[in-house]
Every structure is written in structure tokens, then in C-alpha cells.
Amino acid sequence: MSNSTACQLLVSANTLDECKLLLDLKVPWVDLKDPRQGPLGRPSIELSVALASMMSKESNSMRPWSFAGGELSDWDHHRDWPLIEALGIDGHIKFGLAGCQDLERWMDSLSSLVGSMHRPQQAILVHYADESLVQAPSWENVLEAALALGTDQLLIDTAIKDGTTLTDLLSPSQVARIIDSAHDHALKIAVAGSIRLDGLTQLRKLNPDWIGIRGSVCSNVKDRNSSIDPDLVLKAMALMDRNYHRETNVLDPANSS
């Protein structure tokens, strides 16, 4: 991830064509997941390998990229190992921790999984803001796990995708404290969770390293499974620009969907 003074955009795709579109639009971080399989739905092995191959050919770009690895509690080492292989040395994989409160020795399982990667920094641990609804560890426990494993990137997200946004669950000051605590430990952090375009400016000011979105740039903003709208992606990128002002005539929202 980037440094905390230059918040950038992460957009999740769910097809190879969407990945190509995001690359063409110069989205800073391209992520791949299957929204039908949950907040961190694992994409198919075939699609993951195709993205990895595509990114390996991006010789002029050092942009980061990632897969969603699903929930640690659902991970099947035999079934899902090809995802780790597809990462190579440059890819990243995000792991949700829903259900880990009821999973004995989840930290040992995570340690073994991270240890099988080329670098621990390829793993991104996810803290769910609605942790109590999905029996996930607290922010403090996720932070402790990241430090113990030697990872350097974290994501805060929402597990329940019912339209509730990150800032419906946490106040801006609470989000800021989480971001600051990550930075205090020299960790980088992305924020996500059904973030709407009109919320990007406020979140950007809290200085996360990345803001992750999908639904807000879909052709049907209420359906995370609908296709990505390139005009909405461009608008999101404009909103991430610190020099952007609402009065600037960049992709008028009336014409962006």
C-alpha cells in the first residue's frame, strides 16, 4: 500500500474484463473477488490465475493487486492452495476473520497459511467493523495478529452487505483512531464497507492509505453483482484527488449512471 499522505483508490472487480477495464482506467489498486460468495468471496482459481498472468505482463506498472481469500474459517488448504500459488511474489490476498472467535487456534492456522507465502507482507488481514454480528476478532486482536505475523497491511470492512456503510457502524473519529493506531505501528491500512461516492472525500481526509469500493461504481449501485460503470470509476478517482472541488464539472453525477 501507499504511504498515509497519499490516499488512493482500490476497486474490486469480479471478471477479467472488469480487471482489464480498471487497468485501462489506471485505477491504483485492482482487486478481484466474487461478491456472490460473501464480503470477501474467493474468485475461481481460473480467474485468479488469469489475473496474475495479466499483472505479470504489466511490466511498466508497479501497481499492487490482490485476490479475496474468503474467510479463514472456510479455508480449505487442499482446495484453495492454487490461490496462494497464483500470487507469485507480487500479489496480495485478503483474509476475513468471521467466525474466528469460535475457531480454536485460529491464529495458528493463520500463521501456517501466511508462512506458506513468499512474503508475509502478501497477506492482508481484515477487521470487520460489525465484528459482533459475525463472531470476528476485535480490532485490537487483528492488529496484534498482524504484528505477530509480520504482515504490514490491514483492511477494515463490513461483513454484512445490506447497505449499511462503514460510517453507519463507526463514527469518523472511531475510524480515524483505527487508522492512526495502524500507522503508529508502521502498518498501512485500507478502509472499505459499502462506501458511497459522496463519502469518499470525508474518508480520504482521515488519511487511510487506500479506500476500497465496488458497489458505488457498479451500474446498479444497489447490486454489487452488476457490472462496473467506467464513468463512475472516473468520478471516484476525481473525488480522491485533493484538488477536486464539487463545483468542478467532472462527470456530472446526473450523467454518471
- The confidence score (pLDDT) of residue 109 equals 92
Residue percentage of the chain with pLDDT more than 90: 82
pLDDT band at residue 192, thresholds of 50, 70 and 90?
Answer: very high
d(CA 139, CA 141): 5
- The confidence score (pLDDT) of residue 62 equals 76
pLDDT band at residue 60, thresholds of 50, 70 and 90?
Answer: low
Which residues are CB-neighbours of 203 under 8 A, at least 6 positions away?
A: 166, 167, 172, 175, 191, 195, 211
Query: Mean pLDDT of all residues in the chain?
Result: 90
| Model confidence at 11: pLDDT above 90 | yes
Tell me the mean pLDDT in the region 70-94: 92
- The answer to whether the CB of 180 falls within 8 A of the CB of 152 is no
DSSP 249: -
Tell me the mean pLDDT in the region 215-244: 92
| pTM exceeding the 0.75 threshold for the entire prediction | yes
Residue 248 or residue 93, greater confidence: 93
d(CA 178, CA 181): 5
- Say which CATH superfamily domain 10-196 falls into: Copper homeostasis (CutC) domain (3.20.20.380)
- The confidence score (pLDDT) of residue 3 equals 38
- The answer to whether the CB of 142 falls within 8 A of the CB of 127 is yes
Q: What is the pLDDT of residues 164-186, one digit of tens each?
A: 999 999 999 999 999 999 999 99
- The confidence score (pLDDT) of residue 5 equals 54
**What torsion, rounded to 10 degrees, do the Cα atoms 238, 187, 5, 202 define?**
50
Nine-digit cell string for 244: 477536486
| Model confidence at 49: pLDDT above 50 | yes
Q: Cell 474459517, residue?
A: 73
Helix (H) or strand (E) holding 168: helix 166-169
